[in-house]
């Protein structure tokens, strides 16, 4: 399966513009894998590390955690995004960044306190 965790491979986190940026904070991968384990589901990484140019192109924030390899936008198969978001915010009430979107969840391993949006 994956070479990072049971369900995740490093190439899934490469910048979509194919510039070669592929940094990944392993804590982000561990959180994603934890969700896969808990819900017994597969995951698709829609966006991982982003270079500045690609981040700007997709409308990412100037301090986006994607720029530092600490974030991923994830689609957990057969699990509603609001259920994943609730699980993460209960499991990690005082840490990390979790964003709720209609079709995916944002997960990041920021170290400067918790961030939540889309609730």
Range of the domain at 111: 20-117
Domains contained in the chain, number? 1
Bridge partners, residue 98, by sequence: 107, 116
pLDDT of res. 2: 66
Bridge partner residues of 74 (DSSP) = 45, 105
User: Is residue 12 situated within a structural domain?
Assistant: no
* Model confidence pLDDT, tens digit, residues 20-54: 998 999 999 999 999 999 999 999 999 999 999 99
Closest to 82 (Cα-Cα) out of 33, 116, 45: 116
* Residue 44, pLDDT score: 97
- Residue 87: inside a domain: yes
Are 51 and 18 in contact, with CB atoms under 8 Å apart? no
Q: Indicate whether 96 belongs to any domain.
A: yes
Any domain includes 65? yes
Task: Provide the CATH number for the domain around residue 96.
Answer: 3.30.1380.10
Q: Would the pTM count as exceeding 0.85?
A: yes
Write out pLDDT tens, residues 6-28.
999 999 999 999 999 989 999 99
Query: Is 30 part of a structural domain of the chain?
Result: yes
Q: Look at residue 2 and tell me if it is in a domain.
A: no
């Amino acid at each position: 399966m994956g070479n990072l965790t049971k369900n995740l491979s490093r190439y899934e986190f490469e910048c979509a513009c194919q510039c070669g940026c592929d940094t990944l904070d392993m804590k982000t991968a561990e959180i994603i894998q934890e969700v896969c384990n808990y819900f017994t589901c597969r995951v698709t990484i829609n966006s991982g590390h982003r270079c500045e140019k690609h981040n700007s192109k997709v409308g990412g924030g100037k301090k986006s955690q994607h720029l530092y390899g600490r974030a991923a936008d994830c689609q957990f198969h057969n699990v509603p995004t609001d259920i994943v978001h609730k699980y993460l915010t209960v499991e990690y009430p005082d840490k990390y960044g979790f964003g709720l979107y209609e079709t995916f969840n944002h997960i990041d391993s920021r170290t400067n306190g918790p961030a939540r949006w889309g609730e």
